[in-house]
Amino acid sequence: MSFREPNAAPGPRVWAVGALCRAVADALDARFNPVSVRGEISGFSRASSGHCYFSLKDESGQLRCAMFRRAAGLLDFTPRDGDQVEVRGRLAVYEPRGDLQLVVESLRRAGQGALFEQFLQRKARLEAEGLFDPARKRPLPSMPRAVGVVTSLGAAALHDVVTALRRRVPHIPVVLAPAAVQGANAPVELVRALQSLYALEPAVDVILLVRGGGSIEDLWAFNDETLARTIVQSPVPVISGVGHETDFTIADFCADLRAPTPTAAAELVSAPRDLWLGALDLLDERLGDALGGRLDVLGQRLDQAASRLGRPSGLVARQQLRLAHHAQRLHYAVLSRRERLAQVPQAIAADFPLKFSRALAQRRERLERVALRLQLLDPTLVLQRGYALLTDEAGHAIVSSQNLQAGDAVLARLSDGAVRMTVDPGDSTGPRPTSAR
């Protein structure tokens, strides 16, 4: 147990580098994204992968940018150094180097700055009021009773949404609330259409607010403040599917969920019917198996209870029969054991000579093998093949000529005797015999 003074301040948190980079990236994402920036292109390059890299700069700052191949493929012009552009994207941290970068999702030449500025100001104000708070957003119903759709009768988005819903969930009704999606009257009509669907709750328990892509002017109705507050007041979840994947509007941030396209919005509320039918078949099979197993167990218990309720005389007769059977087995077991005990001495007397002879032969054979091994180890057998054993006067074996000096006495042991020898200084081949015995 450790102690510290009550007023001692805790030390600063020690971050791992990667964890700090991720925390900074999360803070940037929560505070700024998505973000729009205007500036001058500098150092533009396009890699072989199709990704584009450049910097945005003005008189007081510079920001690294990355535009991946998918977004770069939507450009209708070739960016060059010095171009004044407006980009929309997401601030992030490139963790391997800890660099701040803007991942660009759309890029166009500057010229709509006033609308962008108005968009950013309105977005910041509504965000400060809590209209974008994730805590108030609701999950989508897994099986809607009916799907409400707010869009224009002549919009391609209506065809895409209806086609997707008919293909995936033809059994779910679709309630259309038509409204203009572009122009001066569009915000008022969109608000009125949403409110008409709110009145049908709970029959309509999810609403799709959709239209196709376009310029910022085309989508401006979905940045209306009254529309934003109406979306937030919805009693049922609202999915915003406005524009293409890179388009963002105030309605997207107010909705319970944003879809990248109108078709994707329809798919979010329409799990395929075959999926639900398959799940229903599986539940039906499991229920049938469980019910059948339960009936089998209960039937077996019923049979056991019926057998126990049989006539007592039958039970007594069965027990008497089992007792007689066990008594007979015991009698035969005693007789068999007596017969086997009587035969044991005879078996021992008959088997003893044979077993003794076998054991004796095995012992003799082992003795002969040991004698042969001892004979092979006899050193005199080596001397009989013409070899000699050299020793000095102390009887130590001489194994190298390097240990001999001129005049040393050497004893050579042969197979039939020994020869005393003296090392000759003029003889390089070895000792010379002096006598034999």
pLDDT exceeds 50 at position 100: yes
Nearest CA to 89 out of 125, 60, 63 is that of 63
Confidence of residue 290 (pLDDT cuts 50, 70, 90): confident
Type of residue numbered 353: P
Q: Where are the domains of the chain?
A: 17-111, 138-273, 348-376, 383-436
Measured distance CA(283)–CA(280) in Å, rounded: 5
Using pLDDT thresholds of 50, 70 and 90, give the confidence band for residue 276.
low
Query: How far is Cα 107 from Cα 246, in angstroms, rounded to an integer?
Result: 10
CB of 86 within 8 A of CB of 102? no
34: cis peptide before it, omega within 30°?
A: yes
Angle between helices 113-129 and 225-232 (to 10 degrees): 30
Distance from C-alpha of 375 to C-alpha of 388, rounded to nearest angstrom: 19
| Token pair in block for residue 135 | 């805590």
What secondary structure does DSSP assign to 33-61, as a single string?
A: -SEEEEEEEEEEEE-TTS-EEEEEEETTE
**Do 87 and 55 touch, CB atoms closer than 8 A?**
no
Averaged pLDDT for residues 108-122: 74
Q: 69 near 49, Cβ under 8 Å?
A: yes
User: What are the pLDDT digits (tens) for 130-176?
Assistant: 999 999 999 999 889 999 999 999 888 999 999 999 988 888 999 99
Cα distance between the two ends of the chain: 94
Best CA proximity match to 144, nearest among 201, 204, 208: 204
Residue 264 Cα to chain centre, angstroms: 28
CA distance 224 to 210: 15
What's the rounded Cα separation, in Å, for the pair 30 and 26? 6
Q: Which amino acid is at 177?
A: A
Q: Which of 58, 30, 46, 51 is nearest to 104 (CA)?
A: 51
pTM of structure: 0.44
Cα(89)–Cα(111) distance, rounded to whole angstroms?
Answer: 18
Q: Tell me the pLDDT tens digit for each residue of 116-139.
A: 778 888 999 999 999 999 999 999
* Maximum Cα interatomic distance, the chain, rounded to a whole number of Å: 142
- In tens, the pLDDT along 328-363 reads 888 877 777 777 766 666 656 566 667 767 778 888
Residue 215 makes CB contacts below 8 A (sequence gap 6+) with 112
Q: Which pair of tokens denotes residue 38? A: 């205007």
Pairing mode, strands 174-178 and 147-151: parallel
Starting at the earlier edge strand, list the strands of the sheet with 431-436.
389-391, 409-414, 417-423, 431-436
Yes or no: domain 138-273 corresponds to CATH 3.40.50.261: yes
Among the listed residues 412, 384, 379, 386, the one whose alpha carbon sits nearest the alpha carbon of residue 398: 412
Query: What pLDDT was estimated at residue 3?
Result: 41
Residues 176-226: tens digit of each pLDDT:
999 999 988 999 999 999 999 999 988 999 999 999 887 777 889 999 999
Neighbours of 152 (CB within 10 A): 19
Q: What is the pLDDT of residue 366?
A: 85
425 vs 237, more confident:
237
Residue 308 pLDDT > 90: no
Task: State how beta strands 35-46 and 52-58 pair.
Answer: antiparallel
Tens of pLDDT along 31-62? 667 888 888 888 888 888 889 999 888 878 88
- Sign of the torsion formed by the C-alpha atoms of 317, 323, 325 and 327: negative
17-111 folds as OB fold (Dihydrolipoamide Acetyltransferase, E2P) (2.40.50)
DSSP 58-110: ETTEEEEEEE-HHHHTT-SS---TT-EEEEEEEEEEETTTTEEEEEEEEEEES
| Rounded Cα–Cα distance for residues 363 and 245 (Å) | 97
DSSP state of 256: S
Q: Which of 126, 108, 157, 148 is nearest to 224 (CA)?
A: 126
Name beta bridge partners: 389.
413
